[in-house]
Amino acid sequence: MKRKWKSAWVIGGSTGLGAALVRKLAVNDVLTYVSARNTEALEVLKEENPSIIPFPLDVTDPDSCVHQVTNVIKANNGLPDLIILNAAIYSPMGVAKFNAKEISKMMNVNFLGIVNMFSALLPHKKTEKQVTIAAITSPSGWRGLPGGIGYGSSKAAVINLIESMKGELDGSGFDLRLVNPGFIKTRLTDKNNFKMPQLMSPDAAAVKALDGLSGSKFDLCFPNPFLFYLKLLRILPYSIYFWLMKKIVDKKKVL
């Protein structure tokens, strides 16, 4: 990692990619605040490195988001240089297992959780201090994929949100970014019952993400060539796209 930040805050940092990001930042002497609902996991991280400071947080609670933004600002004497929005839940879902309650849960955490964080953060932007705010999204948000009902929709909403705000916030002190990793070996992807191309470890994905965020690119996508081919799906005409999706459905028996 090219060290660029003195301080960072990872929201959704108790396990998986989030925890790997916390560890990579802290080991590079970045004062790292970490938030999640799992207070026990946060305490374990705290014991690993004195540069890791827990701030328990439920992103689905707007008041909790405001409260912890205020606390982190006090502890850091201002917003951290890097804020990573990573809190997410996932349930694989095809039409046969359509579940409105599970979709609502995913939207509440994955999308509205980020909305709540921005609502708490926006009043504190300052043109004299640049803060990089990165949302961890997913290629499943680029276009609807079989088995991705709910999760893909929530990630598509996040991508649209960040894209919508990017132009207005450029030059305001907030530098918005998207991080779109492929499959990462975590408790979430352990739910998948299909082969995941170019499956990455959380550590490898964290290195890729932080190296990318050290630069200036808006949309960070990895690994290639898998992500390159997925990106091509975004520009295909619907007739060809749905033909390909039907092939996937027939092969994987999602529906």
- Per-residue confidence (pLDDT) for residue 191, from 0 to 100: 72
Total tally of structural domains belonging to the chain: 1
Residue 146, domain CATH: 3.40.50.720
- The CA distance from 14 to 242, in Å, is 38
Q: Is residue 184 in some structural domain?
A: yes
| C-alpha separations of 142 from 76, 153, 206 in Å | 35, 9, 21
Q: Is residue 2 in some structural domain?
A: no
Q: Is residue 147 in some structural domain?
A: yes
- Per-residue confidence (pLDDT) for residue 254, from 0 to 100: 43
- The CA distance from 102 to 7, in Å, is 35
Half-sphere exposure of 94 (CA within 13 A, CB side): 14
Q: Nearest Cα to 76, choosing from 129, 38, 27, 24?
A: 129
Tens-digit pLDDT profile for the chain (255 aa)? 555 899 999 999 999 999 999 999 999 999 999 999 999 999 999 999 999 999 999 999 999 999 999 999 999 999 999 999 999 998 888 888 899 999 999 999 999 999 999 999 999 998 888 999 999 999 999 998 888 899 999 999 999 999 999 999 999 999 999 999 988 887 776 677 667 777 889 999 999 999 999 999 999 999 988 888 888 888 999 999 889 888 877 776 544
- Per-residue confidence (pLDDT) for residue 50, from 0 to 100: 95
Domain with 13, as residue range(s), is: 7-252
Q: Is residue 37 in some structural domain?
A: yes
Q: Is residue 1 in some structural domain?
A: no
Phi-psi category of 18—alpha, beta or left, where left has phi over 0 and alpha has psi -120 to 50?
alpha
Q: Is residue 106 in some structural domain?
A: yes
Its pTM stands at: 0.92
